[in-house]
Amino acid sequence: MKSHSHIAWALLAVLLLAFPAMAQAFGGSFYVGFATRVLILALAATSLRLLVGELALVSFGHAAFFGTGAFVVAILSKELTAPVGLVPGTDSAWIAWPIAVMVSALLAVVIGMISLRTKGAYFIMITLAFAQMTFYLFESLKMYGGDEGINMAHRSRLGFGLDTGDNVTFYYVVLATVVLANLFFRFLIRSPLGRVMKGIKENETRMQALGYRTYRYKLMVFAIAGAAAGLSGALLANQNSYASPNLFSWLQSGNLLMMVILGGSVNFWGGAVGAIVFCVLEEVLPHLTRYWQIALGVFVILVVMRVPEGLTGLRWRVRVPHAAQRRSSSEVGNG
């Protein structure tokens, strides 16, 4: 079984690395841009899955961090080309992207300090309220485009001879970033902090009785998820060379949550799988019907009803019957 898993991972790595060349062979640079967008949204959805899957925190305000990362990079770029004078500008990815991550993490700490004192529907509504507040805040910043958003003169520069303005180069930059982020998430879940998260999800009262300050742990994870969402927002702003206040809207939060639901919040790769399926459907369905949003909604409902654990759960549904069949065959043979 492990050998099959290794082969699958090797094939996936080859596919991701060779994808730009394959896309160019079919004469479509569009596919490279589309794959880049999928990777970025997969990172954002995975950061939200960290909250939903590991702590059972259903946040409806994740777009606040996503949009913040995008706007920080765009504002720093604008201050370099057409300065307003509020902050110093920069087009260096080594400066702008970490700042976007830190600002998003700081915003997550502020929101988390309030929202994490609540549970259930109250937590959902407070996170939603904060996201809408950030939406109206950035929409009101007329010096930075207001409701029209901000255009970036060019993508952030990485140096070392890497031209991020080239879509293929930018694809590989995003791919490397997403891989490193997922390795970090994997390490986090398998670390002692990950075991604490699992305990909090299963029985927070018991963890408190054991002496764990669960509020602090949840706030830490909330900040990490916000930072990762900010990084994905910074990458998306670079891909589009544009940041819009719509990135803060409840619709964006809803889309990210829908990706997690589609893929499955329990499985580590649920967010990524959900992002892939969502983006493909979002691209294909409008060509099939003018009522594509309804079709997408029906698909999500069917997934929730038929596969509550998400599309990644189909893998286990296939495995379990086969395992049971092998056990029964073995018992018959022994008998």
List, in order, residues 6 or more apart from 266 with CB less than 8 Å away: 53, 309, 310, 312, 313
Distance between CA atoms of residues 242 and 153, nearest Å: 9
Q: Report in angstroms the alpha-carbon separations of 115 from 69, 103, 130, 136, 242.
A: 20, 18, 9, 19, 30
Distance between CA atoms of residues 233 and 65, nearest Å: 8
The predicted pLDDT at position 280 comes to 94
Distance between CA atoms of residues 36 and 33, nearest Å: 5
The predicted pLDDT at position 233 comes to 96
pLDDT (tens, 9 = 90+) of the chain, 335 residues, equals 556 677 888 888 888 888 888 887 776 788 899 999 999 999 999 999 999 999 999 999 999 999 999 999 999 988 877 776 677 788 899 999 999 999 999 999 999 999 999 988 999 999 999 999 999 998 888 888 888 889 888 889 988 888 888 899 999 999 999 999 999 999 999 999 999 999 999 999 999 999 999 999 999 999 999 999 999 999 999 999 999 999 998 899 999 999 999 999 889 899 999 999 999 999 999 998 888 889 998 998 998 888 888 888 876 555 555 444 444 444 444 54
Distance between CA atoms of residues 238 and 241, nearest Å: 5
**What are the structure tokens assigned to 227, written together?**
């930072």
The predicted pLDDT at position 330 comes to 46
Residues 49, 53, 59, 65, CA torsion sign: negative
Distance between CA atoms of residues 196 and 190, nearest Å: 10
DSSP secondary structure letter of residue 143: G
CB 274 within 8 A of CB 310: yes
The predicted pLDDT at position 147 comes to 85
